Amino acid sequence: MNALLEDYDARVLGGRENEIIYPESAPSEAESDESSAEPPEDQPPAEPIPIDLPSALAHAFESSRDFQDRKESLYLQGLGFTLTRYNFGPILNSTISYLWNDAEDAVGRDSLGAVVGARSTLPTGGSVSVSSTLTGIHDDDPDLFGLSGDPFYDSSLQLSLRQPLLRGAGYEVSHEALTQGERNLIYGVRSFEVFRQDFCIRVVNAYYSLVSQKMRLANDERYYQDAVFDRRKAESLRQVDRYRDDDVFLARRREIEAEDALLVSRTDYELAVDDFKILIGLPTSAVVEIRDDEPLFEAVRIDPQSAVAAANHNRLDLHTERDQLEDAERQVRLARNGLLPDLDLSVNYGLDGGAGDILGASPDRWNSSVGLTLDLPVDRKGERNAYRSSLIYLEQARRNHQRRLDEVERDILNQIRELGQLEKRIELQRDQIERERRAVAVTQIRYESGDAETRDLLDARQSLTVVQNALIELKVQHFIARLRLLRNMGILFVGENGMWRS
């Protein structure tokens, strides 16, 4: 065993170091600045792709890999159903064959055969089939005059009917695969529509989160520029003995902290941009320009009980659960049918004929048969267990459906409460921003008059930046929560381009 592993280790990893590609060294910041300042004339800079919410949704619904995978899964499910429907007929078949054989001390023979037939499943649970055959045989044994033997042709036409009378009789039992296949396709269409709604909300959430990060990055950049200005001012005032060394030290420390926070924000934003491009199906090398679109704030005024009633009536997943409950009830009836004895009726009618030429070999002799077969249910242990299991599954499905309705009601009521809470927090945050702006203005006046220290001004500006970032986050949370509420009430309708209407 060790020798085998060593052999494969050498085959797989041997010489791997000779095939390794190492990355090149990145240019220094000065070289990078020079190269970016003077781009080559034959390589103009790529135009950035402007991305707003409609274009982001359009890109996602056209190019997203996740979206394409789900759409193709639904298509494959549809293909599977077409095969199921095809198997219930009528199914045609035809075969043409030719055979030549010969051997030492034997008579050579060649034969030709043709078969044409069709079969279908009846709505009553029976099956009917019809087939027609034609065969011809020609021996190579010569007669007394050296001539070959005469050919012989045989033909037949057969019609067969098999009909269960107890177990397996009826459309519901015999066409269960077709019924369940059609219902599964309906469930798949509903599930795909719910996925489209969730995917739309996912893209919207990612887009506005990116916009929020961009705005926070702009706030951090302004805060850093203010910190640089304050540091330079503190150094200048220190030279004329209007500031102490502690003031200069504090200003420099705040500048370092602001620059550190800015570097982190830039890195996080660039990662978020790359993740967003992957989500909507753009290559990571694409240059995009995210528009500064704040989410629209619209207060929600919905009666909670009417929202619950709308969700119970509109939601596609609840429609599917109710249909699956009907499936469980049907499975009980099918399992009960499996306890019946097998009583099958078979009817056969045929014509056959034969002659030395094809025209004379038409079928003209009839034959028929009728039979009944009874298989007593002596051993039905498996069927009895299946019937009891179906009853248990039915009760579980009923309980799960009722629990699902309770969970939907809980989620709807909780979402309405959370939206109300977010609306109040947004109002409070707006008031807080106004207070922080006034505080910055007052502190700036006091700072310029010498009544406030650098620390007070920097603290005031940082507090304003924090509350501004918090307001952006709250608006995004409220917008996404409102979309999710519309989705959970079943009134979010997503178009082909990904935009919604409610």
pLDDT in tens, 280-315: 999 988 999 888 787 888 888 999 999 999 999 999
* pLDDT top residue among 34 and 376: 376
pLDDT given at position 145: 39
Residues 247 and 359 in one domain: no
Residue 65 CA: distances (Å) to CA of 74, 76, 295:
14, 16, 26
Residues 202 and 63 in one domain: yes
* Average pLDDT along the chain: 87
244 within some domain = yes
- Give residue 325's pLDDT band: very low, low, confident or very high (50, 70, 90): very high
pLDDT given at position 14: 77
> 495 — phi, psi (to 5°)?
-80, 180
Q: In whole angstroms, what is the distance from residue 9 CA to residue 238 CA?
A: 69
Lowest mean per-residue pLDDT among 185-199, 277-291, 345-359 = 345-359
* pLDDT top residue among 149 and 344: 344
Q: Are strands 127-139 and 152-164 parallel, antiparallel or unpaired?
A: antiparallel
Residues 232 and 307 in one domain: yes
pLDDT given at position 142: 54
Percent of the chain scoring above 90 in pLDDT: 52
Burial class of residue 357, CB neighbours in 10 A (0-12, 13-18, 19+): exposed
Give the torsion sign (CA, 255, 261, 264, 269). Answer: negative
Residues 196 and 289 in one domain: yes
10 within some domain = no
- Give residue 344's pLDDT band: very low, low, confident or very high (50, 70, 90): very high
Report the predicted TM-score, pTM, of the whole model to 2 decimal places.
0.83
Residues 422 and 494 in one domain: yes
Residue range 49-71: average pLDDT?
92
Q: In whole angstroms, what is the distance from residue 282 CA to residue 348 CA?
A: 64
Residues 196 and 317 in one domain: yes
Q: Are strands 288-290 and 49-51 parallel, antiparallel or unpaired?
A: parallel
In 334-475, beta strands by DSSP E: 342-355, 365-375
Q: In whole angstroms, what is the distance from residue 500 CA to residue 105 CA?
A: 84
318 within some domain = yes
Residues 459 and 428 in one domain: yes
pLDDT given at position 32: 56
- Give residue 34's pLDDT band: very low, low, confident or very high (50, 70, 90): low
431 within some domain = yes
Task: Write out the residue range of the structural domain in which residue 429 sits.
Answer: 56-80+179-323+396-501
* pLDDT top residue among 355 and 476: 476
Residue range 441-463: average pLDDT?
79
| DSSP label of 296 | P
pLDDT of 36 > 60? The answer is no
Residues 107 and 215 in one domain: no
**Tally of domains within the chain:** 2
pLDDT given at position 252: 87
* pLDDT top residue among 480 and 111: 480
pLDDT given at position 141: 59
Burial class of residue 117, CB neighbours in 10 A (0-12, 13-18, 19+): middle
The verdict on whether omega for the bond into residue 50 sits within 30 degrees of 0, i.e. cis, is no
Residues 214 and 307 in one domain: yes
pLDDT of 146 > 50? The answer is no
Residues 409 and 369 in one domain: no
Q: In whole angstroms, what is the distance from residue 245 CA to residue 259 CA?
A: 21
Residues 67 and 140 in one domain: no
Give strand pairing partners of 121: 127
289 within some domain = yes
DSSP string, 311-358: HHHH-HHHHHHHHHHHHHHHHHHHHHHTTS-EEEEEEEEEEEEEESSS
Q: In whole angstroms, what is the distance from residue 382 CA to residue 191 CA?
A: 34
* pLDDT top residue among 43 and 334: 334
349 within some domain = yes
Tens of pLDDT, residues 234-251? 888 778 777 677 778 888
Tens of pLDDT, residues 72-129? 999 999 999 999 999 987 899 889 988 888 777 677 778 888 899 999 999 999 999 9
Tens of pLDDT, residues 390-403? 999 999 999 999 99
* Calculated CA dihedral for residues 146, 149, 150, 156, nearest 10 degrees: -170
Residues 127 and 270 in one domain: no
Highest mean pLDDT among 27-36, 219-228, 303-312: 303-312
Q: What CATH number should be reported for the domain holding residue 68?
A: 1.20.1600.10
